[in-house]
Amino acid sequence: MVERSTSLKTVDSCQTVANNVQLEMVFAGNVPAGQWMRLRYQTSLYCSAGRLAIRFGADGGEVQAALPAAFFGAGEWLGLVPQGTRRVNIILSDGCAATDFHLASCEVLSFREVVSLARGRSAGKTLLAAGLGAVGLRGDASGILQDVLGATPLERYHEWRALNGRDLDLAGLEAQRDSWRQGPHIRVIVHTIDEKSAEALDTTFASLQRQTYPNWSLTLVGAEMTHRGDRQAFRVEADARAGLLWEGLEASDIVLPVVAGDVVADYAMAALVEFAAGRPDCSMFYADEDSIDARRRHVAPELKPDWSPIFHEARPYVGRAVYFRRRALEAHADRPLAALLRPSAWNALFAAEAGPVGHIRRLLLTKPWKPAETGTPVIVARPTMERATATLIVPTRDRADLLAACLAGLEKTEPRNFDLVIVDNGSKEPATHDLFERVRMHSWARVVDVAGPFNFSALCNRAAELAEGQVLVFLNNDTAAMQPDWLATLVSWAVRPDVGAVGPKLVYPSGRLQHAGLVLGLGGYAAHIDNGAGPEHRGYLDRFTVPHEVSAVTGACLAVEKGKFDAIGGFDAKRYPIELGDVDLCLRLRQRGWKTVFTPYAVLKHHESATRGRSNVAKRYAKERRHFLESWKDAVLDDPFFHPALSLTARRTRLDH
């Protein structure tokens, strides 16, 4: 490997980066185009973590890659610089200033050195990559190597945390801020939820004494609390009124509850204050957390999505790293203190919050591990079943066997408040036309002929113009409903005023998972997370067991109110004739304030691309992918419902790098 001397300069203006800081890498010599490059860098732990981007500019355009979020302060990226690259820019995450980033080193590695690094993670995939590289298929080889080097199993979280952590840089990235002189006061409330040893209490108090933010005070709940420290503590009895906890605070000051035995990260209060300063309209905040077991190993990271009220209602997830401005608690001043200092009470406060809720993407709390907590009960949340009418739209071309299975599922669907539009795109097989004749015998079904090259988006738009239902349900011809109420479930979500697109759980004929929502940026564009997981797989944080917000759902089965669909102009048939049109639709709905929801309570079987085939996907849909990045290059770096510390290269949920 060769160390490359580099410096950074701020780019004053960039139309594509919104409010994010863009830094240009200035090399001493030529840009290492066509070579492997490794960057090591640090970001301030006072900034909420987010993925960074590296963009390679050439005469023919720009190529983008995501950089790990440096969740514990240190990050590393290893990748191939595209041929023809003339400039390299680093885009910082939202809210981070140039002074919050430090490029520690830049190295150029040989292909042999990269293979050696990858071999320790996956010998089989590395051998395949080496073979592809030997026969000149460098692009395929580099893709495999980057996948291998870009993900760590969740089971190795302890090692991953240690590898990506660093000491606080109190003279640099974590220096005290001048703004703290007028910063909010934090009232720390230490309380117990069960018997705690003196050692556990001392652990909590020691972590509080290490805080870099100075403006805080301490309140102890319960007579059994014994505090040994320099900071004076105010004590209240457990049966007192809750208002005593925040007495003397201003409305925007912050209450920070801590369970005795928990460890508050050294930078936690500073990160909280910095985050809250940029969000004066937020009254409630939560952060990420993990646990530490009896062997002193960090386990069970809870890397939470940004505020997801549907998910929280179904499976409360905010945990113990929660924070409240005084104004959020005023209505509860006369409640018994003990009743308010419970996780169930915190969950209820978040669930009832009508305003914005802030998620600090940093690990601010570590709690003692309890094996019993792995069995978190799931609350089944189902919206009221609506009687709105629906129009089912099924584009098709031949494959009568698949379409017949799809129609058989529709025959069993209840209630039958829907009509069906089959859009035939040039079917030629006699069996298909025989099936069409049988379909036309039903008063609730019709077949519309649309000639021309296969354009899924255009076919769907044409059928939507003819639709009579309040809700449109776009359905692939290779899907089959597995329960009678699947449609009623989708419709009940689609008619909610805050919801745009809705998608069900899709499984392969084998029963393995095919779709439970798409993740932006996965695989470079958008893809199904945990594709191929077994039927028993619950998903990270149990997300596959309950309805929850996602950034996009697949067009293989997608429900949306016709009025909302028409309001955004339907599918973009020109830019996305086949691939990524569903993701683009969901993102444009989001721009109008309508969220996308996945529900596991509707399940369909899906053969996936059985009609069109799956060969040469990247080459066949190169134009769609180029258009997608032109429109959504910032969105693919920051899926709000997929934590930035999770990998975008692995199709199963893994840690990034």
63 three-class SS: strand
The whole-number average pLDDT for the span 596-624 is: 76
Residues 432 and 360 grouped into a single domain: no
Selection from 152, 150, 254 nearest residue 211 by Cα? 254
Same domain, 342 and 419: no
pLDDT at 600 over 70: yes
The answer on pLDDT for 18 being more than 50 is: no
The pLDDT of residue 612 is above 80: no
- Given a cut of 50, is residue 84 above it in pLDDT? yes
Query: By three-state DSSP, how is residue 120 classified?
Result: coil
Residue ranges of E strands in 260-312: 263-264, 284-292, 298-302
* Token duo for residue 630: 């032109």
Domain identity same for 554 and 640:
yes
Per-residue pLDDT averaged across 158-162, rounded?
97
Longest dimension (CA), the chain: 87
Query: At 223, is the pLDDT very low, low, confident or very high (cuts 50, 70, 90)?
Result: low
Structure tokens at 99: 């002074």
- The answer to whether residue 597 is domain-embedded is yes
Structure tokens belonging to residue 141: 């080889």
Say how many CA atoms lie within 13 Å of 190 toward its Cβ: 28
Q: What tens digit of pLDDT does each residue of 168-195 get? A: 999 999 999 999 999 999 999 999 876 6
The token pair at 233 is 């503590």
Question: One-letter amino acid identity for 604?
Answer: L
Say which CATH number the domain at 77 has.
2.60.120
Has residue 173 been placed in a domain?
Answer: no
Whether 383 maps to a domain, the answer reads no
Reported for 62-69, long-range contacts at CB under 8 A and 24+ positions apart, including other chains, are 64/629, 64/633, 64/636, 64/637, 66/521, 66/636, 66/637, 66/648, 67/39, 67/41, 68/164, 68/645, 68/656, 68/657, 69/43, 69/93, 69/361, 69/644, 69/645, 69/656
Specify whether 345 is located in the same domain as 285: yes
Which residue, 318, 351, 375, sits at the end of a domain?
375
Which residue would you say has higher pLDDT here, 121 or 391?
Answer: 391
**Closest to 36 measured CA to CA, from 88, 112, 131, 134:** 112
* Local confidence band at 225 (pLDDT 50, 70, 90 cut-offs): low
Identify the residue whose tokens are 């799956």: 614
Q: Token pair for residue 442?
A: 């039903």
Same domain, yes or no: 362 and 402: no
Instruction: Say if residue 415 is preceded by a cis peptide, omega within 30 of 0.
Output: yes
CA-to-CA distance for 70 and 53, rounded, in angstroms? 12
Percentage above 90 pLDDT, the chain: 78
Identify the pLDDT of residue 314: 95
Residue 170 included in any domain: no
Domain identity same for 103 and 16: yes
* 464-480 residues labelled b (16+ CB within 10 A) or e (exposed): beebebbbbbbbbbbbb
Provide the domain count of the chain.
3
Instruction: Classify residue 609 as left (phi > 0), alpha (psi -120 to 50) or beta.
Output: left
Positive/negative CA dihedral, 62, 68, 74, 79: negative
Structure tokens at 42: 């640090």
pLDDT in tens, 53-74: 999 999 888 899 999 999 999 9
pLDDT of residue 2: 67
pLDDT band at 383 (very low <50, low <70, confident <90, very high): low
Tens digit of each residue's pLDDT (9 = 90 or more) over 417-457: 999 999 999 999 999 999 999 999 988 999 999 999 999 99
Q: What confidence tier does 129 reach under pLDDT thresholds 50, 70, 90?
A: confident
> What average pLDDT score do residues 5-11 get?
71
Say yes or no: 153 and 256 in one domain. Answer: no
Residues 209 and 86 in one domain: no
Helix (H, G, I), strand (E, B) or coil at 489: helix
Q: pLDDT tens digit string along 617-644?
A: 556 688 999 999 999 999 999 999 999 9
pLDDT score at 385:
62
User: 515: pLDDT confidence band, cut at 50, 70 and 90?
Assistant: very high
Q: How far apart are CA 479 and CA 482, in angstroms?
A: 10
CB environment 327-354: b (16+ within 10 A), e (fewer): ebbeebeeeebbebbeeeebbebbeebe
DSSP 8-state code for residue 275: H
* Prediction pTM value: 0.93
Q: What is residue 130's predicted lDDT score, i.e. its pLDDT?
A: 82
pLDDT at 384: 65
Tokens for 333, please give them: 């001043």
pLDDT at residue 380 tops 80: no
> Which residues, 6 or more positions from 511, have their beta carbon under 8 angstroms from its beta carbon?
534, 535
Dihedral sign, Cα of residue 639, residue 643, residue 645, residue 651: negative
The 10 Å CB-count burial string (b at 16+, else e) for 400-432 is bebbbbbbebbeebeeebbbbbbbbbebeeeeb
- Taking each helix axis from N to C terminus, what angle separates 138-149 and 123-134, rounded to the nearest 10 degrees? 160
Any residues with CB less than 8 A from the CB of 12 and at least 6 apart, and which?
none
Share of the chain above pLDDT 70, in %: 92
| pLDDT, tens only, 540-596 | 999 999 999 999 999 999 999 999 999 999 999 999 999 999 999 999 999 999 999
Q: Are 570 and 476 in contact (CB under 8 A)?
A: no
Strands 233-236, 216-221: pairing is parallel
Domain boundary (164, 193, 214) is at 164
558 within a domain of the structure (yes/no): yes
What is the domain-level CATH number for residue 252?
3.90.550.10
For residues 260-287, one letter each, b for 16 or more C-beta atoms within 10 angstroms of the residue's C-beta and e for the rest, the string is: bbbbbbbbbbbbbbbbbeeeeebbbbbb
Q: How far apart are CA 35 and CA 493, in angstroms?
A: 49
pLDDT at position 642: 98
Q: Is the pLDDT of residue 400 over 60?
A: yes
What CA–CA distance (Å, rounded) separates 73 from 75? 7
Query: Which residues 6+ apart lie within 8 Å of 81 measured at CB?
Result: 31, 32, 33, 34, 35, 36, 37, 56, 88
Mean pLDDT of 305-326: 97
Confidence of residue 377 (pLDDT cuts 50, 70, 90): low
Query: What is the span of the domain harbouring residue 638?
Result: 390-656
- Give residue 141's pLDDT band: very low, low, confident or very high (50, 70, 90): confident
Residue 472 Cα distances to 164, 461, 542, 637, angstroms: 46, 11, 29, 30
Query: Is 463 found in the same domain as 351?
Result: no
Q: What is the CA radius of gyration of the chain?
A: 27
If asked whether residues 397 and 352 sit together in one domain, one would say no
Q: Is residue 172 part of a domain?
A: no
User: What are the CA-CA distances from residue 15 to residues 11, 20, 91, 215 (Å)?
Assistant: 11, 10, 12, 39
Q: How confident is the model at residue 103 (pLDDT cuts 50, 70, 90)?
A: very high
| Total count of residues recorded for the chain | 657
Q: What is the DSSP string of 606-641?
A: E-SSTTT--TTHHHHTHHHHHHHHHHHTTGGG--TT
Structure tokens at 509: 């004929």
Q: What 3-state class would DSSP assign to 299?
A: strand
Q: Cβ(336)–Cβ(239) under 8 Å?
A: yes
pLDDT band, residue 307 (cuts 50/70/90): very high
Torsion of CA 509, 512, 518, 522, to 10 degrees: -120
Task: Tell me, yes or no, whether 381 lies in a domain.
Answer: no
Q: Are residues 442 and 369 in the same domain?
A: no
Cβ-contact 107, 65 below 8 angstroms? no
Whether residue 624 lies inside any domain: the answer is: yes
pLDDT of 264 above 80: yes
The pLDDT of 593-606, averaged and rounded, is: 97
Q: Which residues of 95-134 are buried (b: 16+ CB within 10 A; e: fewer)?
A: bbeeebbbeeebbebebeebbebbbebbeeebebbbebbe
Single-letter amino acid code for the residue at 356: P
Instruction: Mark whether 432 and 575 lie in a shared domain.
Output: yes
Q: Residue 83: in which H helix or E strand, if any? A: none
**Is 93's pLDDT higher than 50?**
yes
User: pLDDT-based confidence at 8, cuts 50/70/90?
Assistant: confident
Distance CA 190, CA 187 (A): 10
pLDDT (mean) for 324-333: 96
Last residue of a domain, one of 340, 375, 410: 375
- Give the DSSP letter of residue 374: G
Q: What mean pLDDT, rounded, does the chain reach?
A: 91
Provide mean pLDDT across the span 325-341. 94
**Hey, what are 182's tokens?**
């007028």
